[in-house]
Copies of this chain bind each other. A is one copy, B any other.
């Protein structure tokens, strides 16, 4: 069974409920991967009437934070209230009670990070915040561990999903700002008061967290120049497009010697840059390090389960503190050399196909080829036959098919290759799905 880690969740809203769900439903997977038993012991919330779709039997559900912070058995407090107060006071208390804290709260880290880190150091505990930027994207871990050998030269982040959704809709479908905002609100991406999202404040919170990690000290959130996307019109989107650019709200961090350039503002990104292809509510953080060069981390920047996924990764990181012996280490445990993994054979799977063949330019050939495909239930979705391509008497025929079993395609191709009007160099590719 391994060591038991007792967890309390502070705030069982959307994200807190996601964390509870993963802990309750995926406990076995986490134990297999880490050797630690993650036990949800206490959940604090003011509203216990709401239906959360969780089976909380065995969990102490309370409205009293003291039941959590004063419980000596609790190892870790997950803070999912959001906002500065009362989250700040509660986290300070939890740290003082020598409990590790995991939070998704970017405003809290951006504005109160220095005080919180001092408190964590004073009491010898950890404060982790993977979920505070980029939702489920492991960008915090990548900056502090994966790219630890690098001086970070620059970060360009699309870190506010609401703004990116609005800009995408303006760009792709020529909606104006108000229409796109309304749509984002209807889809649940935007708050009733969208000021923090479209005004750039949320992106500035996240930039503060990223820049602090990259620079190794807390940067001053208040000093960041911030411009939002409220003044953009369809006219501007279209002019930018005409010049070859896509407008994105970027959180920018650039190092230049000893000083650092931090800004949040709408930015014209060249159409062929990877950031220009990050659409809808998705996030991406483009990081350049002195050794690694350019990297990008892409994924969902918000949402219940992506955010909970990031919080649970912090819980797993903390669990390593409890693993002393190397043979218990989660690093080695993640692949079990004694576990056997069964592979599908290629014959068992289905794909869509691209077929390219050269045939003699004779009548009736297409019907013969499509006849063979039809015999094996491979149906054609699209086809091109060119009159000539300068290849003697042979002309290329290209087909895209609907999904079909590999076995069926194999048999059909064997039969087609026997036609004397087909050249032997048949090419069969597969389509992405």
Contacts and interface: CB of A to CB of B under 8 A. Distances in A.
Interface stretch (A79-87, A193-201, A257-265): A257-265
A316 B141 CA distance: 13
B299 A295 contact: yes
A432 B260 CA distance: 17
Interface in A264-281: 265-270, 272-275, 277-278
A148 B33 contact: yes
Contacts of A356: 235-236, 239
Contacts of A120: 332
Interface string A129-150: 0100000111001101111111
Q: For this complex, into which size category does the number of interface residues on chain A fall?
A: 35 or more
Given A223-B343, A267-B432, A335 B117 contact: yes
A313 B295 CA distance: 15
A293 B300 contact: yes
Contacts of A141: 138, 141-142, 145-146
Contacts of A215: 339, 341
B216 A334 contact: yes
Contact of A340 (B217, B256, B308): B217
B431 A267 contact: yes
A222 to B, nearest CB: 10
A265 B352 CA distance: 13
Interface stretch (A4-12, A44-52, A60-68, A322-330): A322-330
A394 B146 CA distance: 53
B30 A148 contact: yes
Given A343-B259, A432-B156, A321 B326 contact: yes
A250 interface: yes
Interface string A219-253: 11001110000011101100110110101001000
A415 interface: no
B299 A293 contact: yes
A296 B298 contact: yes
Copy number in the complex reads 2
A331 interface: yes
A186 to B, nearest CB: 20
Contact of A289 (B274, B289, B309): B309
A365 to B, nearest CB: 18
A70 to B, nearest CB: 21
A234 to B, nearest CB: 10
A375 interface: no
Contacts of A300: 292-295
Contacts of A354: 236, 239-240, 243, 245, 268
A336 interface: yes
A151 interface: yes
A349 interface: yes
A421 to B, nearest CB: 19
Given A216-B32, A317-B145, A340-B217, A292 B265 contact: no
A119 B130 CA distance: 33
Nearest to A284: B296
A145 to B, nearest CB: 6
A384 B325 CA distance: 68
A34 interface: yes
B331 A126 contact: yes
A58 interface: no
B142 A291 contact: no
Contacts of A330: 144
Contacts of A341: 211-212, 215-220, 260
Interface in A385-433: 389, 396, 398, 400, 425, 427, 429-432
Contacts of A233: 427
A165 B124 CA distance: 49
Contact of A137 (B26, B220, B232, B295): B295
* 6 nearest A-B pairs in the assembled complex, by CB-CB distance: A138-B146, A217-B339, A295-B299, A136-B292, A149-B312, A296-B298
10 contacts: A34-B148, A126-B331, A136-B289, A136-B293, A137-B292, A138-B138, A145-B313, A145-B316, A145-B317, A321-B329
